[in-house]
Structure 1
Amino acid sequence: MPFLLLFLSCNSNDKKQENKISESKSTAINPDDPLLDTIQKQTFNYFWEGAEPHSGLARERLHMDDVYPTSPKNTVTTGGSGFGMMALLVGIKRGYVTREEALSRFEKMVDFLEKADRFHGAWPHWLNGETGKVVPFSKKDTGGDLVETAFLIQGMLTVKEYFKNGNAQEKQLAHKIDQLWRGVEWDWYTKGENVLYWHWSPTDNWDMNFPIGGYNECLIMYVLAAASPTHPISKEVYDQGWALNGKIISKDSLYDIPLVLNYYENEDADIGPMFWAHYSYLGLNPKGLKDQYADYWQLVQNQAKIHHAYAVENPKNFKGYGDSLWGMSSSYSVNGYDAHRPGNDLGVITPTAALASFPYTPNESMKMLHYLYTEQDSLIGKYGPYDAFSLEDNWFVPRYLAIDQGPITIMIENYRSGMLWNLFMQNEDVKRGLDKLGFTYAN
């Protein structure tokens, strides 16, 4: 059914486009449903057709209403571009583009990244897609962003593995990626301490002051930092900085499902937004991944199960929540951009939360996919499901974010074939990093 545009209104973070949403019941579908192909192609096209044309990188956001109040349309996201690189590999596998077409795009992306602003080897969160210059993410966030760099490197190393044994042109691309990987000064971002810091700015130095410890979306950063062949961190940085000398371990449960790790320090048992179970695990395979602190498959699968159980219980009685409508993450919302989770539930569902969880909860994720495409198709646009919606407030926004669309393409492929997991996990540097940190993992 076509959507009915009602009105545009402003809030403190962004303009919102308000739309009516239909109400209906959903049913489960077969795991082999062709909707998997449909949504993978649509979300892939965010990074193919919707890419910033000069750089080939992923636009931070695409607004189908063409209103960009917070950042220019030519702003590209480094982390989201790492996701986009992995999505392009899915495009080759699924026949959306040829290997040669994708190679040409990868060359454009990597050539741009070679010339773009870097700070001790780390790229900023945002770049101008035409000039390669930093676009401030916030007032003092004007330099290197080690977390976004990790997401980008995760994607680049996956591409390297795909092309490293190819023809001369493909091997040259793999070599260029390897040089960029070797240039990231992970150890410098410790400031000489046993913890990694998120940001450094040439104008504001370490003023952002964000040491990264305790569980969140950043596990991949510590793994890559340990894996670096040129600027590695020690295991002590991981144990003391990330794992907080063991305090990261949780004995709590929600819905009789173990949390495994603490999501928030000094708070009662709570669960994080679902992107914490996605971003680090687009290439890093949680199946069989264990260390002294966690079984990571149990961790991420349990997080998805808790989000689903919360929606079924629906303690706040929000309209529509249930077995086929679930999952919260960072996204647009009725109050602007927000990080949604059971402890911060505004009645907003973010489709990527359930749809990027296919490897963890295939039945529950399939029900959500079926519900969206058969019962709520006003929520579907050119590049797949829109970023967020609320049946409670009768609202959705016809806009997309790279960091939400990319995990859908990638994690559905990991569910279907394991492609991205297999490529990333075969990288020899990654294996050495995991070994160094004391992980066991599937070979």
Structure 2
Amino acid sequence: MRAQTVNPSELDPSDRDLLLKIQQDSLQYFIRSSNKDTGLTRDSSLPGSPASIAATGFSLAAFAIGASHGWIDDAYARQYLSKTLKSLLQQAEHENGFFYHFLDAKSGRRVWRSEASSIDTALLVAGALLAAQYYPGTPIAQWSQQIYDRVDWNWMMNNRELMCMGWTPENGFLSYYWDSYNELIILQALAIGASKNAIPKEAWTAWLRREEIYEGKRIIYSYSGSLFTYQYAHAFIDFRPLIDGDINYFENSVRATEANRSYSLRSMLQRKGYSPNSWGLSASLGPGGYRAYGGKPGEGVEDGTIAPYAAISSIVFTPDLSLKAVRHFYEKYRDRLYGHFGFRDAFNLDKNWWAQEYIGIDQGITVLMLENYLADGSVWKKFMANDAIRKWIELSGIKTAS
């Protein structure tokens, strides 16, 4: 595996200061966008946005990280975490422990006829378990474990080898299952490693590792090719020493990130916004609404829209390339692209379109990945200490490189 340093000791002080600014400003999204009574976090800054259960998971993680650095008063962070976890246990609507994708932030009731979502629940649980590691032996840790234990992971298997993406009261289980490589790894890890209602270890080998040789490099790729699919599990799990058969998923994300950037560069003559320092194809807002933009290998949907969070959150994989992109976005487009909560979601120079909004999960992945980069993998260290993760590694047959 290629050595990808996570130690930023050689960073220019001005670069470090900029990354810290982005991290702290992105953290402000969660402070300002979480309901004062329930703690549930808005999906986006769009007017009328409901709460998102995944954004709430990132919020739990972000508050714990912020307090560890003194960016948030520790008593305030404890109060927020306690309030939110109790709301999730007592108020937020769920089905067999699986939270609905979107909730009314004040009441915790399901909105938008959304599904009880397996992946969004996994991101919520991951955020709660991470917060628990920052506050061991406290009610915060106890409530986090209760949320985890309540999820009936087996129920979402629907008597199949693969886990379903969700369920609705109106139509039952969705017709879509987690059948190939993407962000599902965090879901599988938590479901296999659970102390209650765990799924069979055989589920780990049931999904497809779709691969392609792209520009001479073997890549296990996601269907969309969106960068977030190579980031979400890696925000929590340290894949650097882990080998699944002959796959190292950290190295795979390095290659996938480089391929995503390369795919953009191939279209530089057709797209004004693409350049060596301006890249990042991932799910984001766009001129026509929210889309799963991505590169090759994969579907490769693109229209010139760039999501700054995508390059920033790849910094553990491609530190030099990501840092140059950060500098480019900030120095060239700061007035249009940067605000109180860090980088806004996306932009498209071909259509002179600039998002005015922030998306909670995009600010969340930014906070966590910058924490891993700037703080010597601190999120990884805490999350990997969880018994459930150790159990998943053992049961799935994953090996640890010496």
Give the TM-score of the pair, scaled to structure 1: 0.83
CA distance in 2, matches of 1:427, 1:226: 13
| 1:5 corresponding residue in structure 2 | none
Pairwise CA distance, 1:249: 4.4
Letter in 1 for 2:12: N
CA distance in 1, matches of 2:347, 2:215: 25
Task: Determine whether 1:193 maps to 2:160.
Answer: yes
CA distance in 2, matches of 1:307, 1:301: 10
On the 8 A contact 1:255/1:309 being kept in 2, the answer is no
| 1:8 corresponding residue in structure 2 | none
Aligned-CA RMSD value: 1.8
Pairwise CA distance, 1:297: 1.0
On the 8 A contact 1:127/1:134 being kept in 2, the answer is yes
On the 8 A contact 1:217/1:276 being kept in 2, the answer is yes
Choose which of 339, 347, 351 in structure 2 pairs with 1:381: 339
| 1:145 corresponding residue in structure 2 | 117
| 1:129 corresponding residue in structure 2 | 105
| 2:214 corresponding residue in structure 1 | 254
CA distance in 2, matches of 1:363, 1:132: 42
Change (3 A) 1:46 1:441: farther
Residues 104-140 of structure 1: per-residue CA shift (max 9 Å, x gap): 110111011012111011111011111111113xx5x
On the 8 A contact 1:194/1:238 being kept in 2, the answer is no
CA distance in 2, matches of 1:34, 1:439: 37
Residues 221-261 of structure 1: per-residue CA shift (max 9 Å, x gap): 01111011010111222212x23xxxx242x22232321x1
CA distance in 2, matches of 1:414, 1:40: 11
- Tell me the SS of whatever aligns to 1:214: coil
Task: Determine whether 1:280 maps to 2:240.
Answer: no
- Tell me the SS of whatever aligns to 2:45: strand
| 1:402 corresponding residue in structure 2 | 360
Q: Structure 2: 5+ residue runs without aligned partners?
A: 1-10
CA distance in 2, matches of 1:30, 1:346: 34
Letter in 2 for 1:42: D
CA distance in 1, matches of 2:180, 2:308: 26
Taking only the aligned residue pairs, the percentage that are identical comes to 27
Pairwise CA distance, 1:98: 2.1
CA distance in 1, matches of 2:131, 2:216: 40
| 2:3 corresponding residue in structure 1 | none
Choose which of 194, 199, 205 in structure 2 pairs with 1:233: 199
CA distance in 2, matches of 1:385, 1:423: 27
Residues 72-120 of structure 1: per-residue CA shift (max 9 Å, x gap): 33x1111111111111122123321122211111011101101211101
Task: Determine whether 1:182 maps to 2:149.
Answer: yes
Task: Determine whether 1:155 maps to 2:127.
Answer: yes
Choose which of 318, 321, 326 in structure 2 pairs with 1:364: 321
| 1:120 corresponding residue in structure 2 | 96
Task: Determine whether 1:37 maps to 2:33.
Answer: no
- Tell me the SS of whatever aligns to 1:178: helix
1:4-403 correspondence to structure 2 within 5 Å: 30=12, 32-63=15-46, 68=47, 72-73=48-49, 75-115=50-90, 116-136=92-112, 139=113, 141-142=114-115, 144-165=116-137, 171-206=138-173, 208-240=174-206, 242-243=207-208, 248-250=209-211, 252-259=212-219, 261-264=220-223, 272-292=225-245, 294-314=247-267, 317-342=270-295, 343-378=300-335, 379-403=337-361
- Tell me the SS of whatever aligns to 2:60: helix
Higher helix share: 2
Residues 269-322 of structure 1: per-residue CA shift (max 9 Å, x gap): xx7100001111211112112212621111111111112222333356211311
On the 8 A contact 2:180/2:210 being kept in 1, the answer is no
Bigger Cα Rg: 1
